[in-house]
Structure 1
C-alpha cells in the first residue's frame, strides 16, 4: 500500500498509463473526433475568443481535430512551450506545419513567445491529465507545469473556465491523491460527454 501522497500518485499514474497503452490508433482517432465535438458544444468554448489548449502526444486524448476546428472557427488558440524550469510559455497556433518537435517528445508552436502570463488572456483553459475525481482534483504527469498554469489562471482578474481532457473511464469516483499545490479544475471532458465538477 502507498504510504505517501506522492507514492499514491505514482501508483495511480502507472495504472492509467498501462491502460492507455492498450488503446489502438483507430480507437484514438475515433475518440479524438468525439472529444472535439463534446468540447466545441461547451457554451464556454462557443463564446470564447481565445482558448489555451495543448498538442496531444502518444496515447493522450487526441486534441488535433479540436485545435484545428477552433482555429478554423476564428478562435485564437494558444499552445504551450515548455521552459527549462518546467513552467509554460505560450505561442499562437498557426497550423500543423508550424508545430515542431521539442523536449520530452512534445510538439510546440514555432511562433513568437508570448510569455507565461499570456494564458490569463484565454477564457477557456484545456489541460492534459491522466485522471480526475468528481471534486475536480486532477492527476497530471508529475512535472507541475500545469499546477503553475492553473494557479496563475485562478489568480487572474477573470479566471478562465478550466477543463481537463481525459479518456472515458478516467473520471474516477474515488478521490485522486492531492497535495497542497494541486489546483482543481472546473470540468472534465471525455469522448462521451462533459462532467462539471465544482
Structure 2
C-alpha cells in the first residue's frame, strides 16, 4: 500500500495538470452540489464551517458565496499554535491576511474557539484524497484531525463532508488509517455528492 505522503504527492501532481478552465468549472459545480448538501442538513438557515481552497485545491469561494446567498452563516478557520484552529464568521466584506502558520490567507475578525463548530449544521473539510471507507488525507498539518478528535470527545460532532476532485476519490483500502485519523462519511466532488461505505 502506498504511504500517505506518496498519495498526497501523487494527487498534488495530478491537480497541477488541471487547466484554469477546469478548476473554475469545478468551483461552480462544487458550489451547486455543496449548497444542495447544506439544504439537506438543515431546514432553515444554518451555520457551516468551510475553508478557502488555495492553489490547486478545489475552489471553495464560489461555495462560500452560494451558502451566504442561501442565507447561511459561514465560519472560516484560522491556524493557531499547536495545530489548533480558531474560527471567524465570514461576510462578503471580510478582509484576508497571510497566515503566520500556513501558506494560506485567513480571515480577519473575532476569533472563536473550535467549540463554536460543534453547533454548526455541517463541516466542509479539505482533503487531497479520500477512499471509499472514508479515510482522508489532508494537507499534512493535522489541524482537522485534531478538530474532529475534540468534537468527538465532546459528543457534538456535526456532519462532515470532504471536498475533492472526482479523481481524488480512491477505492476502499487505498489510504492507510492511523489511530488519530477521523473518517468522513460523505464526499463533495464536481460531479456530485457521494455517500461513503465506512461505518457510522
Pairwise same-fold verdict (TM > 0.5): yes
* Aligned counterparts of 1:173 and 1:47: Cα–Cα separation in 2: 35
> 10, 18, 23: which is aligned to 2:18?
23
Cα 1:12/1:45, change in 2 over 3 Å: farther
Q: Give 5+ residue unaligned stretches, structure 2.
A: none
Larger displacement relative to structure 2 (130-139 or 36-45): 36-45
> Post-superposition shift, 1:117?
1.6
Q: In 2, Cα distance between the equivalents of 1:129 and 1:139?
A: 6
Counterparts of 1:180 and 1:52 in 2: how far apart (Å)?
A: 24
Shift of residue 154, structure 1, vs aligned partner: 2.6
1:46 to partner: Cα distance: 6.1
- Given that residues 81 and 90 in structure 1 are in contact (C-alpha distance below 8 angstroms), is that contact kept between their aligned partners in structure 2? yes
Distance of 2:65 and 2:111 partners within structure 1: 20
The answer to whether 1:134 aligns with 2:132 is yes
Q: How many Å separate the matches in 2 of 1:162 and 1:9?
A: 21
Map 1:56-135 onto structure 2 (within 5 A). 56-95=53-92, 97-103=94-100, 104-135=102-133
Give me the whole-angstrom Cα distance separating, in 2, the residues matched to 1:37 and 1:46. Answer: 17
* Partner residue in 1 for 2:158: 160
Q: Is the 8 A contact 2:94 2:108 kept in 1?
A: no
In 1, Cα distance between the equivalents of 2:137 and 2:22? 23
Q: Is the contact made by 1:50 and 1:123 (CA closer than 8 Å) also made in structure 2?
A: yes
Cα distance in 1 for residues equivalent to 2:43 and 2:136: 24
Q: What is the total number of aligned residue pairs between the two structures?
A: 193
8 Å Cα contact 2:83/2:142 also seen in 1: yes
Provide the aligned C-alpha RMSD in A: 1.7
Name whichever of 147-156 and 186-195 sits farther off.
147-156
Describe the shift of the 1:152–1:186 C-alpha distance in structure 2 as closer, same or farther (beyond 3 A).
Answer: same
Alpha carbons of 1:24 and 1:128: their partners in 2 closer, same or farther (altered >3 Å)?
A: same
Distance in 1, matches of 2:171 and 2:161, equals 17
Partner of 2:194: 195
Instruction: Name the SS for the 1:57 alignment partner.
Output: coil
